[in-house]
Amino acid sequence: MFVIDDAGHNEWQLKPFLALPGPVTIAVLPNLPFTTKAAESVTQSGKELLLHQPMEAMAGLDPGLGSIRADMDDATIRRVLRSNLAQVPGAVGVNNHMGSRATSDVRVMSTVLDELATAGVYFLDSLTIGDSVVHSVASLMRQSIWERSVFLDNTPDRASMLHYIAEGTKIAEKRGYAIMIGHVWSAELAQTLADLYPQLMDQGFSLSTISRIMMDSDDDDDIGD
């Protein structure tokens, strides 16, 4: 599964990813000039749509407008999530933008997961910090969540991207799927994925989305985390 983060700033960065063959997931940031239009374009293209929810990071980094912070009370967290989801109509899931501090806070993530369960959308942990509590909180709440397998474009050159795609395919061979996250600002990634698609198909891989895997599985213990 390929998940492309940070959509919503403009149209031109998004277009190459919407043109990719097969299922691709696009995560749209809230409160940006192109947020709602991006969400509409993703839905019209038949791609899977996520809200890319800004969350508080360590070291004072600014995740952007509409962020969830660890000092917010539960009611405020719920209100922020509802407002942001309303800006991304058709979103079937949420993943975190930044969020190293928020995803390490048990109370915050308990509230987030409860609100998303009420809304009927899944949560994908981008794993921006090694000691994220999302998995353990979800287990206590008896919910399934999903976790990133690899980042594709931390180093935005083709050789590095190919390396991490190969790492992702190894994970998929062992686990049955892999969730590979890239970013909409990387034109090189869009071209790399387009070029690599026939090879992946020839190797017996298929592209999918979290929603499709959830629908195809009758046993939640075999999917998610």
- How far apart CA 50 and CA 87 sit, in angstroms, is 11
Share of the chain above pLDDT 90, in %: 94
pTM: 0.95
Report all structural domains of the chain as residue ranges with CATH numbers, in order of start: 2-222 (3.20.20.370)
Q: Is 209 left (phi over 0), alpha (psi -120 to 50) or beta?
A: beta
The 10s digit of each residue's pLDDT in 130-144 is 999 999 999 999 999
The 10s digit of each residue's pLDDT in 4-30 is 999 999 999 999 999 999 999 999 999
- Does position 219 have pLDDT exceeding 90, yes or no? no
- Residue 57 pLDDT class (50, 70, 90 cuts): very high
- How far apart CA 75 and CA 209 sit, in angstroms, is 31
